[in-house]
Copies of this chain bind each other. A is one copy, B any other.
Amino acid sequence: MPVELTPSQALGLWHTVSRAQVRLDGRDLTLRQLAILLEIYLVPPPHTVRGLAAKLGVTKPVITRALDTMGEQGLVSRVRDERDRRNVVIRRTVEGALYLEKLGDLIIGQGRALAS
């Protein structure tokens, strides 16, 4: 089911969620990092560095760096693919799922609070 938004609602939603995210989230993820994280959790696995780079239109080191940072924070983990040891499979974590769950709640709450 589509979600119909007016221009004011669309930007208002982005505004309140972005502001809340800046105020409350100590992780301070980049837009790129967040896009990568959402890709990993919302698209069926397996995910690889190369695949994510292609999907987002960025270079491979961008993905490696983002996985380094988010891995240190426990949001994702990496495992070597044993069937083709050149590949690295990116795996989800409980902490990452919880993080996105909270982001989802934030979006839903702000969407519900939208006026006009």
Contacts and interface: CB of A to CB of B under 8 A. Distances in A.
Oligomer: number of copies: 2
Given A18-B34, A57-B22, A10 B111 contact: yes
Contact of A56 (B22, B28, B115): B22
A91 to B, nearest CB: 18
A72 to B, nearest CB: 19
A116 to B, nearest CB: 7
Given A3-B111, A5-B107, A111-B2, A14 B38 contact: yes
Q: How large is the interface on A (under 10, 10 to 19, 20 to 34, 35 or more residues)?
A: 35 or more
Contacts of A11: 38, 41-42, 100, 103-104, 107
Contacts of A58: 22
